[in-house]
Amino acid sequence: MTATDIFEASRKGNIPLLEEILLAKPDLTAFNKYGFTALHCAAAGCDLVADDVILKVMKLLIDAGSPLEIPSHDGRTPLYLAAEFSRTVKPVQFLIDAGANPDVYGPTGNHVVKNAWVLEVKQLLAKLSGIAIPVEPEPAPPAIKMNTMAWKKAKLSLDVVFNGLVNNGLIVLQDAGTTQSDGFGDCAELFSQHKDQSSVVGFCFYTRQDLNRAKKTSELPLAIWGAPNGKIKDTENVGNIVADAFRKAGINVGWNGSGSMRPSLYLHSFSE
């Protein structure tokens, strides 16, 4: 047997070979060339073999001491991989019952709820983690060019909401630079000058490019960022604060709840 046999046996559900390998008490924290442990390989093999087989593979590995929470080299836990590759809830539920954490994020910042393959798994993980299943926003209304009066009316409403967001702990800017990088830099400078940085929840701004888009289409994209480190969960919290504030002001918001997507304000009603 070679060092790679345990990884292949785990991924392909070769139980007799795996049982033989485990008799030699191999290092179950070892990684293969892809940065996976044997348990990672089993989780990634969920779409290759039947549930009863992969469950037995996982049990053998866990009983032998395979760590549940060790991240792969790209930052995914075995549960994260099982959620991505399994067509049923059984492998994911098995890992949770064994003690795996269902509230985990992947290398791109996506929560496992978002990356899970099937709805049943998403629902289980959403219930346990408290993270909502992302929904696709409704299609944007047809583009309508805003005249000067429509934009002035919209700007008055924007000013009121943006001023209110400051009271919610946000650093906000309108018409901030030309690009998102410019806007973020301006917000970051204000953050560095803030007397109580721990009270800052995050940033919300739009740029000159965004403003020009709004005048041409009535859609104003907003940039959001969650303090202190821009983590997806923190950014989603900022997004919820922002979306709720504009909706309460009667402005239609398009956003799927994901920190990787910019909320958009639909300003069409100001042209009516």
Find the CATH number of the domain harbouring 81.
1.25.40.20
Helices 90-97 + 78-85 axis angle, to 10: 160
Counting the structural domains of the chain, the total is 2
- Decide if 141 is inside a domain: no
Report yes or no on whether pTM surpasses 0.95.
no
Query: Which residue numbers in the chain have pLDDT < 50?
Result: 1
pLDDT of residue 264: 97
Same structural domain for residues 89 and 192?
Answer: no
Show the domain range for 44. Answer: 5-129
pLDDT of residue 2: 53
- Decide if 134 is inside a domain: no
Same structural domain for residues 152 and 44?
Answer: no
- Decide if 66 is inside a domain: yes
Same structural domain for residues 157 and 266?
Answer: yes
pLDDT of residue 108: 76
- Decide if 27 is inside a domain: yes
What does the longest C-alpha to C-alpha distance in the chain come to? 78
* Chosen domain end from 83, 102, 129: 129
Helices 148-167 + 232-248 axis angle, to 10: 120
pLDDT of residue 257: 85
